[in-house]
Structure 1
Amino acid sequence: MIPIALPILDGEEGEAARRTVLSGWLSQGPQVAAFEHEFAALVGASYACAVSNCTAALHLALRAIGVGPGDEVVTASHSFIASANSIRYCGATPVFVDIDPSTYNLDPERVAEAITERTRAILVVHQMGMPCDLAALKALADRHQISLIEDAACAAGSQIRIDGLWDWIGKPHGQIACFSFHPRKVITTGEGGMMATGSVDLDQKFKLLRQHGMSVPDTVRHGSQQVIFEDYLEVGFNYRMTDMQAAIGRKQLERLTDIVSRRRALAGLYAELLGNIEGLSLPFEPEWARSNWQSYCVRLPDRVDQRAVMQSLLDQGIATRRGIMCAHREVPYAHEKQRHDLCQSELAQDRSILLPIYAQMVEEDQVRVADALKATLRN
């Protein structure tokens, strides 16, 4: 079986976890602090805050900028449902707008049409690791004096050129960028997330809220020679990352540049192998973007049954996934009347499939995938 994805882990991660277990400090502690520092330094952010997962990161990001009941947040329906759910957690309303069909990312023109006096923020998504048009979206947010939050769940290691310079996704262009370390992502801690920001006030807010609103972290209390009584300053959450996860994450972070380089080479080979299939649309990378290729998404020719193609490939030992889901089609959101046309989002879900891609993949595997897809489409 050729899997859809495969984390790259070996004895280094195992040894890092073992040392942490033997240290006796298992929950949020020195490994988390080190992981935050190293992540911020890599992406060019002033601050980073590790949390239990990217959904928690998105929730804290919106909460920290003051999103609440009565507010609206413009975002993509064409994203994992956590993007929309994080808005609902705050009591606010997600306003779904359509995507650019070439990049699967938010169309800035559609975002502009959706902004009202109730709009508190734009939640952009770097879909499948492909950077969205941050320059246009940031200008839009600045013009309307609203916040810009990046759902960068898939985008660790991706880069974008702004004002002639290449920046890592995570260097603050909006207020906050939120990352995932789920096993389907380019680097993993099993579960886990990270928030990058240029604001010390926001970073302090994240670190307060992720630990129950506790005024003094347990790391400080345990290291103090004086008795310290903590206070609980507001209703917070248990969104902490463990030191075991962070120890693994630090090793994964060391691999990130090499992993992304390998994945970019794999995407290049796929383009060669699949480029001559009539009617098959391949991913588009704008000249100002460098994707980490967290996923490789192709759009099937017209009148081809998505499920039948996926089943045929599975029967041949090749795992795929359908196009990215649309939240507005799911039960929690389906009853709401949508204000904006979402036809491109729906087509992307219904007509696209994700092909296997992971750093350990070899050319023989890619040729097998390409030949199987060609044969399936012929039939």
Structure 2
Amino acid sequence: MKAVPHNLPSLGNDEAEAASKVIRSGWVAQGPEVRSFEEEFASYLGLGAENVVAVSSGSAALFLALKVLGAEGKKVATPVYACAALRNAIALAGGQAQYLDNSPESPLMNLSDPKIKDAKILIAAHMFGIPLDISSIKDKIIIEDVAQALGASLHEKKLGTLGHCGIFSFYATKLITSGGQGGMFVSLDASLAAGVRDYREFDARRDTKIRFNFQMTDLQAAIGRVQLKNLPAFLRRREEIYLAYVESGLPVLRPPLASQAIPVRYRSVLKCTQPKKLQKSLEAQGIKTIVPIEDWELQDTPVDDYPMALDLCRSTLSLPCYPFLSKEDQQRLIEIAKESEL
């Protein structure tokens, strides 16, 4: 029985050669490859190199965004339906998390939630690769969380360039990876990017300001540069996989899209009554799936106050959607799922 993982990095010979070249150069710490990665990433988003800073992880990028925006002591609106990295970054930056529920039948936060009122900062998470329309928010400092949505756009602008700043993740299972970890901070305001860059340069030895080592290595950046070139092909393949699930008749979660929104398919998620039962059926055949956010992950919150998020926690299952997934394995998964009680 062939094992099918839920996710798999799309790495090949080009990434191996890029990493090998850096190793042979003798310079593996932050250096010219990181600068080139920043320049190429900036170009992809339509920004200048001064607007982009490569860091050690997406979580680090979010923490640094909160630091340079002065989150300490301020209320920060954030989705309750999200990974723990958001609430951890808020806590480490000294902010006060203000959790917002989802919109109905959607992984996106509900920007009409009254709890947003007192927040000074908003973390706008584009969950599952679906653009969250933030155009109605005029009185908040907005950090776009684009960890799951690199390449998506709204109103003909790439996500990450719509708020005051944006953060990206290059973890092993994200849309691209820089060798397992990595992240990027971006902002149209070059002074914010300069603040993040200054914080990253922990060993600058020019004054006694507190900084920390949030650097990306040249080894990571070399892999990330190859991955960025392959991103369009990765996104096309993910779209093919997503559409195959939809066209099969499986109950794929398909939230309404904002006007002029172009999503990417970071996740292909089923909305069903017995996700754990289906998960066990697929696992018995060697196919791995995950519940995107478990109900216990709504940490330190009275879950009954977040009925939309709780519903998704208990009724969704994420299927394999990575570019290296074969058509044969996907079809086998579809056939097993269609025989199950959904």
TM-score normalised over the length of structure 1 = 0.84
Contact 1:83 1:151 in 2 (8 A): no
Rate the CA distance shift 1:204–1:327 in 2: closer, same or farther, 3 A.
farther
Aligned counterpart, 1:225: none
SS at match of 2:167: strand
Which of 293, 296, 313 does residue 265 from structure 2 map onto? 293
Which of 139, 146, 154 does residue 148 from structure 2 map onto? 154
Contact 1:80 1:327 in 2 (8 A): no
Rate the CA distance shift 1:232–1:255 in 2: closer, same or farther, 3 A.
same
Which of 34, 59, 62 does residue 63 from structure 2 map onto? 59
Is 1:209–2:199 an aligned residue pair? yes
Q: Tell me the distance in 2 between the aligned counterparts of 1:240 and 1:326.
A: 34
Give the letter aligned to residue 60 of structure 2. Answer: A
SS at match of 1:100: coil
Q: Tell me the distance in 1 between the aligned counterparts of 2:6 and 2:188.
A: 35
Contact 1:53 1:180 in 2 (8 A): yes
Give the letter aligned to residue 67 of structure 1. Answer: A
Higher mean Cα deviation, 256-265 or 243-252? 256-265
Rate the CA distance shift 1:102–1:133 in 2: closer, same or farther, 3 A.
farther
Higher mean Cα deviation, 174-183 or 94-103? 94-103
Q: Tell me the distance in 2 between the aligned counterparts of 1:130 and 1:183.
A: 20
Contact 2:295 2:314 in 1 (8 A): no
Which one has the largest radius of gyration? 1
Q: Tell me the distance in 2 between the aligned counterparts of 1:40 and 1:107.
A: 30
How far apart are 1:363 and its partner, in Å?
A: 2.3
Q: What does 1:58-137 correspond to in 2, within 5 Å?
A: 58-69=62-73, 71-110=74-113, 112-116=114-118, 119-136=119-136
SS at match of 2:266: coil
Rate the CA distance shift 1:158–1:346 in 2: closer, same or farther, 3 A.
same
How far apart are 1:179 and its partner, in Å?
A: 0.5
Which of 155, 159, 181 does residue 169 from structure 1 map onto? 159
Aligned counterpart, 1:3: 5
Is 1:185–2:174 an aligned residue pair? yes
Q: Tell me the distance in 2 between the aligned counterparts of 1:158 and 1:285.
A: 15
Q: Tell me the distance in 1 between the aligned counterparts of 2:327 and 2:142.
A: 40
Contact 2:81 2:298 in 1 (8 A): no
Equivalenced residues, count: 336
SS at match of 1:321: coil
- Residues 300-335 of structure 1 show CA distances to partners (whole Å, capped at 9, x for unaligned) of 13xx3x3222111100111100132468633xx25x
Give the letter aligned to residue 90 of structure 1. Answer: A
Rate the CA distance shift 1:10–1:281 in 2: closer, same or farther, 3 A.
closer
SS at match of 2:82: coil
Which of 40, 43, 64 does residue 41 from structure 1 map onto? 43
Give the letter aligned to residue 322 of structure 1. Answer: V
How far apart are 1:289 and its partner, in Å?
A: 2.1
How far apart are 1:347 and its partner, in Å?
A: 0.9
How far apart are 1:169 and its partner, in Å?
A: 1.5
Q: Tell me the distance in 2 between the aligned counterparts of 1:361 and 1:284.
A: 24
Contact 1:271 1:282 in 2 (8 A): no
- Residues 203-258 of structure 1 show CA distances to partners (whole Å, capped at 9, x for unaligned) of 1101111122x5x4xxxxxxxxxxxxx32342111110000000000000000111
Contact 1:79 1:326 in 2 (8 A): no
Contact 2:144 2:159 in 1 (8 A): no
Q: CA RMSD in A?
A: 1.8
Give the letter aligned to residue 196 of structure 2. Answer: F
- Residues 257-283 of structure 1 show CA distances to partners (whole Å, capped at 9, x for unaligned) of 1111111121111100134xxxx3532
Which of 349, 360, 365 does residue 313 from structure 2 map onto? 349
Q: Tell me the distance in 1 between the aligned counterparts of 2:129 and 2:61.
A: 17
Contact 1:78 1:326 in 2 (8 A): no
SS at match of 2:305: coil
Give the letter aligned to residue 30 of structure 1. Answer: P
Q: Tell me the distance in 1 between the aligned counterparts of 2:223 and 2:256.
A: 31
How far apart are 1:176 and its partner, in Å?
A: 1.0
Contact 1:283 1:298 in 2 (8 A): no
Rate the CA distance shift 1:193–1:327 in 2: closer, same or farther, 3 A.
farther
Is 1:198–2:167 an aligned residue pair? no
- Residues 68-112 of structure 1 show CA distances to partners (whole Å, capped at 9, x for unaligned) of 02x1100101011101111001121111011113331011211x5
Identity %: 29
Contact 2:105 2:312 in 1 (8 A): no
Higher mean Cα deviation, 74-83 or 126-135? 126-135
How far apart are 1:285 and its partner, in Å?
A: 5.2
Q: Tell me the distance in 2 between the aligned counterparts of 1:200 and 1:262.
A: 34
Q: Tell me the distance in 2 between the aligned counterparts of 1:297 and 1:313.
A: 14
Give the letter aligned to residue 60 of structure 1. Answer: L
Aligned counterpart, 1:260: 235
Q: Tell me the distance in 1 between the aligned counterparts of 2:260 and 2:241.
A: 20
SS at match of 2:201: coil
- Residues 90-135 of structure 1 show CA distances to partners (whole Å, capped at 9, x for unaligned) of 121111011113331011211x54321xx22001111011111132
Aligned counterpart, 1:321: 290
Is 1:244–2:216 an aligned residue pair? no
Aligned counterpart, 1:226: none
Q: Tell me the distance in 2 between the aligned counterparts of 1:326 and 1:122.
A: 23
